[in-house]
């Protein structure tokens, strides 16, 4: 049970269902339950096998369970089988046995076992439960319910259990519908239809054979016969190849395919799983059956023509697996085999039987009739039974007669039929229904009644209670059959005419008996219908009698009941006003209904009943005299209400009322009392002038409609055309009816409010789903506006957010505007001259009856709001902070109320959540991107440090640093300049260009090693003063200098520099150099943004710190070399003999050059007695030109040697300055000539001893200007 079957079809299945496999694998990775559904033999098992193999290749525990192999009849046994199967596979993964629970297995024990499996594996466990269709429904539901409980229990646990369930499409309701335990926790994955191309590919694949060929027409027929079913394609193709291989031609032809299809339909189809499963679904649902019948009659049927209310989530027709969706909204039978089998299975007899069982009488009789015509005599019995049952189910005699005629016509082929029923007075036969009467048919009857005593065949048959017949002519015979019920008088007779056939007398007798038996059954059914009808009539008579006794009070009760059951206020109003004016009610001549509009302070005409003239009134009374209250109610419920002239006039009337007015309408509304008007001016209080002028009323009664001490309107009545005095009873009854009307109005308002609340809740739920389904702010906000339209009235609407950039409210979403793009460009300054700004600042909803009265800018066309009168705004609030508003605009003044405010606030809250979610998502995305960039930057910095670590010296390290910056960022060039020890010059330590194939040559300046004097180079002097890193673009200046322009000249670059970054190099708070980066690309292509500047600064800082340490290391090494050299010389001096002094001095001058890096060194020994230099003892090293020193050099006041002896040390960094470092001592002229001869630019002179004890002078010379460091001077000393 751990390995699903992998048929040879599997590779093809994988090929055409890769997305299905990907979805299942994604569910496993997301640790979400999955429900895989598809038709039988659609390859689900093969797909699951592939999924299991994939997970095993990834070392993820995945177990396959074939539920059809679990042998159990009880829930306990079922869970035991599951536990054993899962335990075996888990043990194979761990090579350790997993204990099986010993107690009686229940759902809770099963879940506990699964938890222990996950703990045992120490990783996620996926279990695939295949073939749900192999289990009884109760075990399926028990499994799914247990898995749902498992899902809920492991919400916050690690690792997790993941369930994949698989079954046939017929299990969709059990696995994924709203009533399923898996609803909301499992992703639904459907094995979709094979498209035509995919089916054709499978046909081509499975019809390949080395021995057999397939003709194009046969291949086309194979596709038509099996399209959409991979298993059927494989099976029919294989069978066709086998059949063709038996013939010499070795070719699959159309005849071969047709034969295979016939054999399949005859032998295999009755047991073919997908077909039988579909048949069961179809036969269980008469609507599905009707759909299939329509599809069998046509190739493609549009969705709207199918008699099936398709659900938005589950399509029951598609779930049968028998149909394909084609085009956009059409269906067709999936393939030719399905069509042929369904057509044969659902023949007329079978369909008639199924529709009979379902109570679809008309359709059932039609199909059974078709079956009889086709020669199926068994259907005749079924049809007669169906018609008898339909008669029993009839509500009226007319409907029963219709079914009786259908039975006679279909079963006995009778063309002309008359059905006569005995009238209620028992003296005549009344024609109830007829069929097939023609002017030349001999059965044309002009009368509608036949007296029972008349000498007519119908009357005689009724009286004699036997079948009679008479010959009308040579071709037709008239039959009359009485409708008899044992123990009762005949109900009536049935007359029909037919042409005699050539049957024998015995056959005619048998037919007559058969017909008589059928008519007797029909009579009993008709008697039952009549009995039920008579009971209804008797009940109605009792009601009428009770109504006469209780009069208007009973009518009031009926009205109260109907008012509570009707939801249409228009019909309730018509009902009550009719009861007030009709003969079965209070019998007033006319009645008017007005509703009180509290906001507009007026009575709004809602309905009027009556007439304007006496002639119209009497004509209406004559027509309505015969109508009972029940008849009226039936008409009221059935027919649309047609307004008459007085009703239309009433609806066009609005009557202002006020508490200070003394007209009777105002008094009735505000005082909540009933008033009578005498019918003539000058008698007490008057009626409103417009009402009196329009209707010219007679004596009136006005009663208010009061509920909970609130006046909802009033009812006014008069008796203009039949004047009579009003009694207290009239007023009391009218008040009672008014109370019913008030209750109906109140209930209607409550119902409307409840429906509005439910619609609001549904809309808010939909809005919540919209918010949770997308993080795209614009899409969500636009959909929220569309949802608002369902419950809030508006013509245009917008969502506006506060913008820090524009310091105003900016429209970010709108609907209903003619030019939405122009509207979204609008920004409203945060000024109180705009109503939306008031809402934003107050954080409260506002509405205006006519916003143009308060804010004139609405009339300005540029605001796209000239149509707006009614206006409503609600704030968008997040964490008690207003972030924007929602505005609703309407052409109708006064349309918005406080209730609309409340509803708008709810939607504003939803919109705020959507905006907050979008912002949070954007922030998380930016944070993620930032962290990724930080990771990349750290990687870049570490790479830089790693690269520099390989450098041999500080200069090489700086060169590596410059190259790394240029090639990694990249930028156009990088220069690194450091102060020399004099701190008067910058030395170019590194200069790296970015090599580009398009460059014709880069002329860099300055070159590496070049010295730049701070006193001469204004650019670098200003850059050295920068306190921190700074980016420059053309035109940006420092102390009046355009940095980019000067840098362009400084580096001599042939391309124009677009931007530059200067980074001061600091140590201990002091600047010791600068790093200059230049970029020739446009700013939008390669900007020096804050992140880039920070990155470069970090890289440079790390690099310079590393180089500083490398320089310190080099200095230490140099000092060690110096110390070692001096120690060596010291040892030689100690051990030297007197005659080896010159040799020792030669080593001293050579060591001076080696330690300091000087080009040459000279020692002038001093002869104290001769007071001259002993030229024979002068020692030198590294001179380029050997000059004779035989000439005696006298001690003169201006000579350098004398100065050196006198001062002890003279330091000259550059002879061009003609002064020593102190700036006070001039260079001796002869010494200067000697220096020029040797090419010396810098030197230091040190006295050997001091004053009179001086033994000579040591000069150390450099060919370039050189700043002597302390360590070098120490070495010379």
CB atoms under 10 Å from CB of 612, counted, come to 16
Position 778 confidence tier, pLDDT thresholds 50, 70, 90 = confident
Percent share of the chain, pLDDT over 90: 9
When pLDDT is averaged across residues 608-622 and rounded to a whole number, the result is 86
- What residues form DSSP beta bridges with 66? 130
What stretch of H or E contains 969?
Answer: none
Q: Which of 149-158, 310-319, 661-670 has the lowest mean pLDDT?
A: 310-319
Domains 954-1116 and 1136-1276 share a fold: yes
- Which of the listed ranges 139-153, 568-582, 727-741, 781-795 does the model predict with the highest average pLDDT? 139-153
Mind listing the pLDDT tens digit for each residue in 1017-1069? 778 888 888 888 889 999 888 888 888 888 887 777 777 888 889 988 887 77
Mind listing the pLDDT tens digit for each residue in 1161-1176? 888 877 666 666 666 6
Coil vs helix vs strand at 567: coil
Please say whether the beta carbons of 958 and 1109 come within 8 A: no
Q: What share of the chain is helix, strand, coil (3-state, %, to 5)?
A: 50, 20, 30
Kindly report each contact of residues 673-681 with a partner whose C-beta sits within 8 Å and lies 24 or more positions away, as own/partner: 673/704, 674/701, 674/702, 674/703, 674/704, 674/731, 674/734, 674/735, 675/701, 675/702, 676/700, 676/701, 676/702, 676/726, 676/731, 677/701, 677/702, 679/718, 679/723
Mind listing the pLDDT tens digit for each residue in 1244-1255? 888 877 566 677
How much is the pLDDT for 442? 44
With a CB cutoff of 8 Å and minimum separation 6, the contacts of 567 are 748, 751
- Which of the listed ranges 147-151, 153-157, 371-375 does the model predict with the highest average pLDDT? 147-151
How much is the pLDDT for 1029? 87
Please say whether the beta carbons of 612 and 697 come within 8 A: no
**Phi then psi dihedrals of residue 311, to 5 deg:** -80, 150
When pLDDT is averaged across residues 285-292 and rounded to a whole number, the result is 89
CATH number of 1136-1276: 3.30.450.40
- What residues form DSSP beta bridges with 1076? 975, 1062
Residue 445 DSSP code: -
How much is the pLDDT for 92? 83
Distance CA 588, CA 597 (A): 26
- Which of the listed ranges 342-346, 957-961, 1150-1154, 1256-1260 does the model predict with the highest average pLDDT? 342-346
Residue that wins the pLDDT comparison between 222 and 966: 222
Position 1196 confidence tier, pLDDT thresholds 50, 70, 90 = very low
How much is the pLDDT for 1232? 57
Distance CA 943, CA 938 (A): 8
Q: Which of 224-233, 605-614, 673-682, 1219-1228 has the lowest mean pLDDT?
A: 1219-1228
Please say whether the beta carbons of 90 and 113 come within 8 A: no
How much is the pLDDT for 714? 92
Torsion 935-937-942-947 (CA) sign: positive
Distance CA 523, CA 387 (A): 12
Give the class (CATH, top level) of 10-192: alpha beta
Please say whether the beta carbons of 697 and 718 come within 8 A: yes
Position 1191 confidence tier, pLDDT thresholds 50, 70, 90 = very low
How much is the pLDDT for 8? 46
Residue 1191 DSSP code: S
Please say whether the beta carbons of 1163 and 1179 come within 8 A: yes
- The model's pTM is 0.44
With a CB cutoff of 8 Å and minimum separation 6, the contacts of 338 are 275, 322
Please say whether the beta carbons of 61 and 162 come within 8 A: no
**Rounded (10°) CA dihedral 291, 295, 298, 301:** 70
What is the separation, in whole angstroms, between the first and last Cα of the chain? 95
Give the class (CATH, top level) of 954-1116: alpha beta
Q: Which fold has domain 777-924?
A: Beta-Lactamase (3.30.450)
Q: Where are the alpha helices (DSSP H) in 494-568?
A: 505-550, 552-565
Coil vs helix vs strand at 1169: coil
How much is the pLDDT for 630? 79
Q: Which of 825, 911, 850, 832 is nearest to 875 (CA)?
A: 911
Coil vs helix vs strand at 418: strand
DSSP characters over 361-394? HHHHHHHHHHHHHTT-THHHHHHHHHHHHHHHH-
Q: Please state, in angstroms and as integers, the Cα–Cα distance from residue 359 to each residue in 300, 348, 365, 379, 1129, following that order.
A: 28, 16, 11, 17, 128
Mean pLDDT of the chain: 81
Is the CATH number 1.20.120.1810 carried by domain 551-669+680-719? no
How much is the pLDDT for 1110? 67
- What residues form DSSP beta bridges with 607? 593
Label residue 863 left, alpha or beta by phi (over 0 means left) and psi (-120 to 50 means alpha). Answer: alpha
Residue 1 has pLDDT above 50, yes or no: no
Mind listing the pLDDT tens digit for each residue in 1072-1113? 888 988 888 888 887 888 878 887 887 777 777 776 676 666
Mind listing the pLDDT tens digit for each residue in 800-855? 888 767 688 888 888 888 888 888 888 888 887 889 889 888 889 999 988 888 88
Distance CA 279, CA 320 (A): 8
When pLDDT is averaged across residues 434-461 and rounded to a whole number, the result is 73
Domain ranges of the chain: 10-192, 394-533, 551-669+680-719, 777-924, 954-1116, 1136-1276
What Rg do the C-alpha atoms of the chain give, in angstroms?
54
When pLDDT is averaged across residues 512-527 and rounded to a whole number, the result is 86
How much is the pLDDT for 1221? 62
**844 burial level (CB within 10 Å; 0-12, 13-18, 19+):** middle
How much is the pLDDT for 239? 92
Label residue 434 left, alpha or beta by phi (over 0 means left) and psi (-120 to 50 means alpha). Answer: beta
Degrees (nearest 5) of the Cα angle 1052, 1058, 1064?
75
Label residue 20 left, alpha or beta by phi (over 0 means left) and psi (-120 to 50 means alpha). Answer: alpha
How much is the pLDDT for 594? 93
**Phi then psi dihedrals of residue 1076, to 5 deg:** -115, 125
Q: Decide the pairing of beta strands 33-38 and 186-190.
A: parallel
Q: Render the burial of 679-707: b for 16+ CB within 10 Å, e for the rest.
A: eeeeeeeebbeebeebbebbbbbbbbbbb
Is the CATH number 3.30.450.40 carried by domain 394-533? yes
Distance CA 703, CA 189 (A): 65
Coil vs helix vs strand at 1241: coil
Torsion 893-897-900-901 (CA) sign: positive
Coil vs helix vs strand at 1060: strand
Residue 1202 has pLDDT above 70, yes or no: no
DSSP characters over 768-828? HHHHHH---HHHHHHHHHHHHTTTS--SEEEEEEEETTTTEEEEEEEES-S-HHHHTT-EE
Helix axes 1090-1135, 898-949, angle to 10 degrees: 20
How much is the pLDDT for 1250? 59
């Amino acid at each position: 049970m751990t390995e699903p079957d992998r048929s040879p079809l599997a590779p093809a299945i994988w090929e055409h269902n890769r997305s299905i496999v990907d979805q299942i694998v994604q569910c496993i990775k997301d640790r979400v339950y999955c429900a895989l559904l598809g038709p039988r033999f659609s390859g689900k098992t093969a797909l699951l096998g592939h999924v299991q193999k994939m997970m095993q290749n990834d070392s993820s525990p995945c177990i396959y369970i074939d539920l059809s192999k679990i042998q159990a009849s009880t829930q306990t046994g079922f869970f035991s089988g599951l536990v054993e199967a899962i335990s075996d596979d888990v043990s194979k993964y761990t090579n350790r046995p997993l204990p099986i629970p010993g107690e009686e297995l229940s759902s809770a024990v099963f879940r506990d076992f699964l938890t222990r499996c996950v703990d045992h594996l120490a990783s996620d466990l996926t279990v695939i439960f295949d073939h749900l269709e192999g289990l009884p429904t109760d075990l399926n539901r028990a499994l799914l319910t247990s898995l749902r409980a498992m899902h809920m229990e492991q919400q916050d646990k690690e690792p997790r259990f993941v369930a994949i369930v698989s079954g046939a499409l017929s299990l969709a309701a059990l696995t994924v519908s709203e009533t399923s335990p898996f609803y909301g926790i499992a992703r639904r994955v459907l094995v979709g239809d094979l498209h035509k191309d995919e089916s054709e590919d499978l046909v081509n694949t499975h019809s390949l054979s080395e021995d057999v060929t397939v003709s194009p027409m046969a291949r086309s027929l194979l596709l038509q016969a099996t399209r959409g079913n991979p298993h059927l394609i494989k099976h029919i193709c294989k069978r066709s190849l086998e059949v063709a291989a038996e013939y010499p031609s070795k070719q699959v032809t159309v005849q071969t395919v047709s034969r295979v299809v016939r054999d399949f339909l005859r032998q295999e189809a009755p047991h073919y799983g997908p077909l039988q499963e579909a048949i069961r679904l179809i036969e269980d649902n008469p609507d599905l059956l009707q759909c299939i019948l329509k599809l069998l009659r046509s190739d493609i049927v549009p969705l709207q023509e199918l008699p099936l209310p398709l659900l938005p989530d589950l399509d029951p027709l598609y779930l049968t697996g028998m149909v394909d969706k084609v085009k956009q909204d059409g269906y067709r039978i999936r393939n030719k085999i399905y069509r042929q089998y369904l057509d044969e299975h659902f023949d007329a007899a079978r369909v008639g039987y199924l529709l009979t069982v379902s109570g679809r009488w008309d359709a059932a009789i039609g199909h059974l009739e078709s079956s009889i015509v086709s020669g199926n005599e068994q259907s005749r019995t079924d049809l007669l039974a169906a018609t008898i049952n339909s008669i029993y189910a009839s509500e009226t005699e007319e409907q029963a007669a219709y079914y009786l005629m259908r039975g006679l016509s279909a079963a006995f082929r009778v063309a002309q039929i008359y059905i006569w029923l005995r009238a209620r007075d028992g003296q005549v036969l009344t024609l109830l229904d007829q069929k097939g009467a023609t002017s030349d048919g001999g059965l044309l009857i002009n009368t509608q009644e036949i007296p029972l005593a008349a000498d007519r065949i119908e009357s005689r048959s009724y009286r004699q209670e036997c079948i009679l017949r008479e010959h009308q002519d040579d071709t037709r015979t008239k039959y009359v059959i009485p409708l008899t019920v044992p123990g009762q008088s005949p109900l009536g007779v049935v007359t029909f005419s037919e042409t005699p056939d050539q049957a024998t007398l015995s056959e005619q007798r048998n037919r007559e008996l058969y017909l008589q038996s059928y008519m007797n059954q029909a009579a009993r059914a008709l008697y039952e219908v009549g009995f039920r009808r008579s009971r209804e009539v008797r009940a109605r008579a009792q009601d009428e009698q009770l109504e006469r006794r209780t009069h208007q009070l009973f009518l009031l009760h009926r009205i109260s009941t109907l008012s509570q059951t009707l939801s249409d206020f228009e019909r309730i109003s018509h009902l009550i006003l009719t009861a007030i004016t009709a003969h079965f009610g209070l019998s007033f001549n006319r009645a008017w209904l007005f509703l009180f509009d509290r906001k507009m302070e007026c009575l709004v005409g809602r309905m009027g009943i009556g007439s304007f003239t006496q002639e119209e009134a009497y004509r209406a009374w004559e027509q309505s005299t015969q109508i009972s209250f029940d008849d009226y109610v039936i008409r009221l419920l059935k027919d649309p209400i047609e307004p008459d002239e007085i009703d239309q006039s009433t609806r066009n009337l609005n009557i202002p009322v006020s508490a200070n007015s003394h007209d009777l309408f105002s008094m009735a509304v505000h005082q909540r009392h009933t008033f009578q008007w005498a019918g003539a001016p000058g008698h007490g209080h008057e009626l409103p002038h417009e009402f009196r002028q329009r209707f010219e009323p007679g004596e009136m009664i006005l009663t208010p409609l009061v509920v909970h001490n609130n006046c909802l309107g009033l009812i006014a009545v008069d008796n203009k055309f039949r004047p009579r005095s009003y009694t207290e009873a009239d007023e009391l009854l009218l008040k009672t009816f008014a109370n019913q009307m008030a209750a109906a109005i109140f209930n209607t308002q409550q119902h409307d409010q409840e429906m509005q609340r439910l619609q609001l809740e549904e809309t808010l739920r939909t809005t919540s789903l919209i918010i949770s389904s997308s993080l795209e702010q614009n899409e969500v906000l636009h959909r929220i506006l569309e949802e608002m339209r369902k419950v809030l009235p508006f013509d245009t609407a917008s969502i506006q957010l506060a913008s820090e950039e524009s310091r105003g409210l900016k429209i970010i979403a709108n609907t209903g505007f003619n030019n939405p793009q122009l509207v979204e460009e609008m920004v409203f300054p945060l000024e109180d001259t705009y109503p939306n700004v008031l809402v934003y600042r107050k954080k409260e909803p506002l509405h205006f009856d006519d916003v143009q009265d308060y804010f004139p800018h609405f009339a300005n066309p540029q605001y796209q709001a000239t149509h707006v009168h009614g206006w409503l705004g609600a704030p968008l609030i997040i964490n008690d902070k207003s972030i924007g508003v929602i505005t609703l605009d309407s052409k109708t003044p006064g349309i918005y109320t406080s209730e609309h405010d409340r509803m708008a606030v709810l939607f504003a809250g939803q919109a705020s959540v959507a905006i907050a979610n979008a912002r949070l998502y954007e922030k998380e995305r930016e944070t993620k991107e930032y962290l990724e960039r930080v990771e990349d930057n750290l990687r870049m910095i570490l790479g830089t440090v790693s690269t520099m670590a390989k450098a041999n010296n500080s200069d090489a390290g700086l060169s590596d640093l410059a190259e790394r910056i240029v090639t990694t960022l990249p930028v156009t060039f990088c220069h690194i300049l450091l102060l020399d020890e004099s701190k008067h010059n910058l030395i170019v330590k590194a200069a790296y260009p970015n090599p580009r194939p398009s460059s014709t040559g880069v002329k860099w300046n300055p070159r590496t090693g070049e010295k730049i004097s701070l006193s001469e180079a204004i650019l670098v002097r200003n850059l050295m003063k920068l306190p921190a890193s700074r980016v420059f673009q053309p035109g940006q200046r420092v102390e009046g200098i355009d940095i980019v322009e000067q840098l362009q000249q400084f580096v001599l670059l042939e391309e124009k520099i677009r931007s530059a970054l200067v980074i001061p190099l600091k140590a201990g708070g002091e600047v010791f150099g600068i790093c200059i980066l230049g970029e020739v690309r446009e700013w939008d292509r390669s900007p020096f943004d804050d992140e880039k500047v920070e990155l470069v600064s970090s890289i440079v800082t790390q690099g310079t710190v590393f180089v500083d340490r490398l320089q310190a290391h080099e200095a230490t090494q140099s000092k060690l070399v110096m110390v070692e050299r001096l120690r060596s010389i010291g040892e030689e001096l100690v051990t030297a003999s007197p005659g080896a002094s010159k040799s020792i001095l030669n080593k001293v001058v050579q060591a001076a050059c080696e330690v300091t890096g000087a080009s040459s060194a000279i020692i002038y020994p001093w002869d104290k007695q001769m007071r001259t230099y002993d030229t024979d003892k002068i020692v030198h090293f590294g001179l380029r030109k050997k000059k004779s020193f035989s000439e005696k050099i006298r001690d003169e006041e201006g000579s350098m040697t004398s100065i050196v002896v006198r001062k002890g040390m003279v330091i000259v960094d550059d002879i061009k300055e003609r002064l020593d470092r102190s700036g006070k001592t001039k260079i001796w002229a002869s010494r200067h000539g000697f220096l020029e001869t040797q090419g010396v630019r810098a030197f230091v002179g040190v006295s050997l001893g001091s004053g009179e004890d001086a033994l000579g002078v040591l000069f150390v010379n450099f060919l370039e200007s050189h700043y002597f460091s302390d360590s070098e001077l120490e070495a010379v000393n």
